[in-house]
Amino acid sequence: MRLRSYRAIVRNEIQASLAYRGHFLFHLAGTAIYLVIASFLWKAVFASSGAEAIGGVGFERAYLYVGIAMSLAGLIQTNVDYSLNRLVMSGDIFRHLCRPQDFMGQLFAESIGDGIVNCAAIGMPALVLSYALSGTSPPDLVNVLLFVPAVAMAFFLNFLIDFLTGLAVFPFHSIRGVTNAKDAAILVLSGALVPLPFYPAGIRSVLEWLPFQALYNAPARILADGGAGISEALPFLARQAAWAIILFVLARVLFAAGLRKLVVNGG
């Protein structure tokens, strides 16, 4: 495999992303507004409960968790489900298929290009803002070092989940329904909306084994649970890796099957 050829895609995608700078401005503004509102919301939640901590979690940690999840959302989004839908329905998939590169590899390289730009333009500033609004001190170096691979894994997993969702275009010719279901599942089951530690213990123990929590809960916990260190982070990373392998194999098998059914539309 020529890695250089995929690097060239990443580079082009970064350049293409930068062609639309207005996009980042508004995306970042939207994220900032969400973060400010969320800080009022969670303050109100804690104020009305009258307790310093809910389920053993105080405001700072709860808000930080939500803020990290929101920052990650801007960073790991690939929209590859929509890309796949568009490529198949318009017939533009031919472009990827007539290149001597792996199809999934091409889409992943394109996603990485977007991801790098989103990380710098949205993820990082949002993360800094989250820390500022939570009033906590910056994270330990150990946690940051563990956070980075967790985010990378979350990115890869989100790509795989989106890719698998996009494959719905082969049987259904439209992914909208499946994408909505996936988005709802992620919102509720991943900890993106409400931190998993607030869920009842029974539900939480199930959710912790699903791939969705690996997107937001795992990296947020690793970074927000200051001082927990390697012993707490490793099980999260291990579960992320296990899901990555399972979903990767599944995606390859299903894509190969879908490709055989492909009808290249138009012209």
Partner 1 sequence: MSGIRLRDVTKHYRVLKRREGLSGSIRDLVSRDYKTVKAVDGISLSIEQGELVGFIGPNGAGKSTTIKMLSGVLEPTSGTIEVDGFVPYRQRRRYVQRIGIVFGQRTQLWWDLAVIESFKLLKEVYGIDDAAYERNLGIFDEIAGLKELRGIPVRNLSLGQRMLCDIAASFIHDPGTIFLDEPTIGLDVEIRAKVRKIIKELNRLKGATVLLSSHDVGDIESLARRIVLIDKGKILYDGPTEKFNGIFGRYRTLRLDVHGLSEEGIARLKEKTAERAGADKGIVFGEVAGGWLGLSFDQDRIPLLELLTPILAAFEIKDIKVEEIAMEEVIRRVYEGALR
- Where does this chain bind partner 1 (CB under 8 A)? 2, 4-5, 7-9, 11-12, 15-16, 19-20, 91-95, 97-102, 260, 262-264, 266-267
| 3-state SS, one letter per residue, for 181-211 | HHHHHHHHHCCCCCCHHHCCHHHHHHHCCCC
Least Cβ distance, residue 117 to partner 1 (angstroms): 13
Q: Which is nearer to partner 1, 145 or 264 (CB)?
A: 264
Least Cβ distance, residue 24 to partner 1 (angstroms): 15
C-beta neighbour count of 169 within 10 angstroms: 22
How many Cα atoms occupy the beta-carbon half-sphere of 83 within 13 Å? Answer: 18
What are the Cα distances from residue 24, in Å, to 19, 158, 201, 216? Answer: 11, 20, 39, 22
SS3 54: strand
Q: Which is nearer to partner 1, 141 or 263 (CB)?
A: 263
Structure tokens that stand for 46 in this block: 């804690």
Burial of 4: CB neighbours in 10 Å, binned 0-12, 13-18, 19+: exposed
Residue with tokens 């909505």, as numbered in its chain: 180
Q: Which is nearer to partner 1, 2 or 52 (CB)?
A: 2
Rounded-to-integer distance, Cα 183 and Cα 162, Å: 10
Least Cβ distance, residue 265 to partner 1 (angstroms): 10
Q: Which is nearer to partner 1, 93 or 164 (CB)?
A: 93
What are the Cα distances from residue 209, in Å, to 64, 175, 235, 242? Answer: 23, 26, 11, 10
Q: Which is nearer to partner 1, 204 or 252 (CB)?
A: 252
Least Cβ distance, residue 76 to partner 1 (angstroms): 22
Least Cβ distance, residue 160 to partner 1 (angstroms): 21
Q: Which is nearer to partner 1, 5 or 136 (CB)?
A: 5
Burial of 52: CB neighbours in 10 Å, binned 0-12, 13-18, 19+: exposed
Q: Which is nearer to partner 1, 201 or 261 (CB)?
A: 261
Least Cβ distance, residue 86 to partner 1 (angstroms): 12
What are the Cα distances from residue 264, in Å, to 93, 163, 172, 175, 261? Answer: 8, 19, 15, 17, 10
Least Cβ distance, residue 69 to partner 1 (angstroms): 30
Indicate the length of the chain as a whole number: 267
Least Cβ distance, residue 259 to partner 1 (angstroms): 9
Q: Which is nearer to partner 1, 2 or 202 (CB)?
A: 2
